Amino acid sequence: MYKSYAANSGTWAPLRERIRQTRRKGVRLSVLEDISFDVHRGEVFGVVGPNGAGKSTLLKLIAGIYPIDSGRIRVAGRVAPLIELGVGFRPELPARENIMINGVMMGLSRAEAERRTDEIIEFAELEDFTDLRLKNYSSGMRGRLGFSVMSHVDADVLLIDEILSVGDKAFRDKCGNVITSMRERGRTVVLVSHEMGSINRHCDRALLLFERRVQRIGEPEEVANSYLAVNTRKRLAAEARSDGDGEAAKVTALRFTSADGSEPSLPGRTPIEAEAEIELRRPLRTPEVRFTILDSGGRPLYVAPPRPLEPGLDRVSGRFRISAKIENRLASGRYALMCRVSEPDDEEGEEGLRSPGRWLTFAIEGPDEMGSVVSLDSEIDVEAEGMKIDQPELEVG
C-alpha cells in the first residue's frame, strides 16, 4: 500500500501558482511506501515509530479517513477510530447530546446511542455532571467521555492514536483495562504510540514504521528494541557524521557478562560488565575502543575514556577480545550500550577511521525514579528557624 500527500506551497503562494497547482497534480510527498501487514482477530497490534514516520496517517488510512494511492486495505467488521479524544464534541452542549452525536459519528444508530448513554456516562464517571455543558468540563473529563463513547460503540476494530499518554494515571489504567477486555472479547485493537511501555504492556505484536516503510514486525519487545536502535542510530549518525567503515574495522560481538536475552534487565547500582569482540581487517593507526551509554532517545549519557588496543603500537590489525566494567549509577529505565573502535583524530584534527557502533539495549530494574537518569545518593536535612503555623482566619463549612 502506498500513500502520498500533495506538497502545497503555503497559503501565501501567488494566486497564479496555486491555480496552476489545483489544475495540475502538483508535487506529491510520499508518506508511506510499500506497507504490508496483517492483524488478526483478537490481537492488540502496536504501531511505533518516530514523529513523522507516518503512524497517524496509517491509522487514518485504515479508518478510511484518507484515501490510499495504490494498494489495498481490507478490514472485517466495524472500525472505530480514536485519533483524538473528543473530536466532534460540541462544547455548548451537555454530555448526553454529545454522546448522541459522537456515537452516531462512530457508527451507532440513534436508538443504540440512546440506549447506551447511561452506561457511557457511568463508565466515564460523569454521573454528577450530565447537565453541565462540555465547555465547563476539564480536559480530563472530556477525554474520559470520548474514550467511554469509543469503548461502547461495539466496534470490531479499534484504532487508537496516542491517547494513552494523556490524562492521569487512573485514566490510563482504565484505558488499559478496556484494551484488555476488548482483546478478551475477540476485538482487534491497533494502538499507535511512541511510548514503548504501553506497547510492551498491551500489545501482542507490533510494527515499527521508519522512514515511510515497515522496518520490522514482531514481538513488541523486539520491535521496541529496533525502535530504540533506529532512533539511536538516527541521532548518533547526525552527531558522528559518518556511521563508520565496516570494511576496515568491526565490533563483531557485544554482550553483557551477567545477563542475556534480547533486552536484558540489569540490577541497579551494580557495575555493568560487558564483553566485546573486535576485528580489525586493515591496519589501523593506534586503534582504541570506546564504550558509550545512551538513553532511550539515543543521547549519550556517558562516554568512557578511549582505551588503546595496544598502547603505543601503530598499524595494528587482528582480533581482540575486550571486557569492560562500568560503574552503574543509572536510574531505572531503558538504555543502550554502544561499543566502537576508532583511530584517534590526527594532529591536524582530521577525523580518524571508525568502525560502526554495535548496540545492546538494556533495562535497569528498580522502582520509578521520577524521570531521573542517574541514581545518586542524597541527604536532605531540614532545620526549622522560627517556624509558624498559619491558622486560618476564616473558615467556611
Partner 1 sequence: MSAVAEPALELREVRGPTAFGDSRERFWELLWLSAVTDFRMRYIDAVLGYFWALMRPLLTFGIIFLFLRQILNFGGRIDNFAPFLMMNIIMFQFFQETTSRGMRALSSKEGLVRKMRFPRIVIPLSSSMTAAFTLTLNLMVGCLLLLVFGLYPTVSWLVIPVCAGALIVLATGLSLFLSVAFVRLPDVVQIWGVIARVLFYGTPILYPIELVPSSIRPIVMANPLSPIFIELQKAVTDPTGPTVVQAAGGVWHALIPIVIGISICVFSVWYFVREAPAVAEAL
Of residues 22 and 257, the one with the C-beta less far from partner 1 = 22
Contacts (CB under 8 A) with partner 1, residues 88-117: 88, 90, 92-93, 97, 100-101, 104-107, 109-110
Binding to partner 1 by CB under 8 A, coded x per residue (else -) over 177-216, reads ------xxxx-----------------x------------
Sign of CA dihedral 229, 162, 175, 187: negative
Residues contacting partner 1: total by CB under 8 A: 51
Report the distance separating Cα 310 and Cα 317, nearest Å. Answer: 10
Give the nearest distance from C-beta 111 to partner 1 in angstroms.
10
Q: Which of 39, 53, 61, 178 binds partner 1 (CB under 8 A)?
A: 61
Q: Which amino acid is at 119?
A: E
Of residues 153 and 284, the one with the C-beta less far from partner 1 = 153
Of residues 100 and 145, the one with the C-beta less far from partner 1 = 100
Tell me the three cell numbers of residue 18: 496555486
Of 77-85, 117-125, 194-202, 362-370, which part binds partner 1 (CB under 8 A)?
A: 77-85
Strand partners, 190: 45, 159
Q: Which of 62, 209, 276, 293 binds partner 1 (CB under 8 A)?
A: 62
Of 81-89, 229-237, 265-273, 343-351, which part binds partner 1 (CB under 8 A)?
A: 81-89
Give the nearest distance from C-beta 130 to partner 1 in angstroms.
16
Is the backbone of residue 309 left (phi > 0), alpha (psi -120 to 50) or beta? alpha
Kindly state the DSSP code that residue 136 receives in the 8-state scheme: G
Is the separation of the CB atoms in 356 and 252 below 8 Å? Answer: no
Give the nearest distance from C-beta 178 to partner 1 in angstroms.
16
Kindly state the DSSP code that residue 355 receives in the 8-state scheme: P
Q: Which of 10, 16, 24, 40 binds partner 1 (CB under 8 A)?
A: 40
Of residues 20 and 315, the one with the C-beta less far from partner 1 = 20
What distances in angstroms separate CA 223 from CA 135, 138, 216, 239, one per listed residue?
40, 36, 6, 24
Report the distance separating Cα 127 and Cα 110, nearest Å. Answer: 21
Report the distance separating Cα 101 and Cα 90, nearest Å. Answer: 9
Of residues 77 and 283, the one with the C-beta less far from partner 1 = 77
Report the distance separating Cα 342 and Cα 357, nearest Å. Answer: 10
Kindly state the DSSP code that residue 129 receives in the 8-state scheme: G
Tell me the three cell numbers of residue 321: 577480545
Report the relative pairing of strands 333-342 and 358-364 from DSSP bridges: antiparallel
Report the relative pairing of strands 188-192 and 205-210 from DSSP bridges: unpaired
Q: Which amino acid is at 153?
A: V
Of residues 15 and 389, the one with the C-beta less far from partner 1 = 15
Tell me the three cell numbers of residue 349: 584534527
Give the nearest distance from C-beta 216 to partner 1 in angstroms.
20
Report the distance separating Cα 75 and Cα 192, nearest Å. Answer: 17
Q: Which of 41, 115, 307, 325 binds partner 1 (CB under 8 A)?
A: 41
Strands of 119-177 (E only): list them. Answer: 157-161
- Contact status: 72 vs partner 1 (CB under 8 A): yes
Binding to partner 1 by CB under 8 A, coded x per residue (else -) over 18-37, reads xx--x---------------
Contacts (CB under 8 A) with partner 1, residues 132-151: none
DSSP 327-339: ---BPSEEEEEEE
Of 7-15, 163-171, 224-232, 323-331, which part binds partner 1 (CB under 8 A)?
A: 7-15
Give the nearest distance from C-beta 145 to partner 1 in angstroms.
16
Binding-site ranges for partner 1 (CB under 8 A): 5-6, 8, 11, 15, 18-19, 22, 40-43, 60-68, 72-77, 79, 81, 83-84, 87-88, 90, 92-93, 97, 100-101, 104-107, 109-110, 156, 183-186, 204
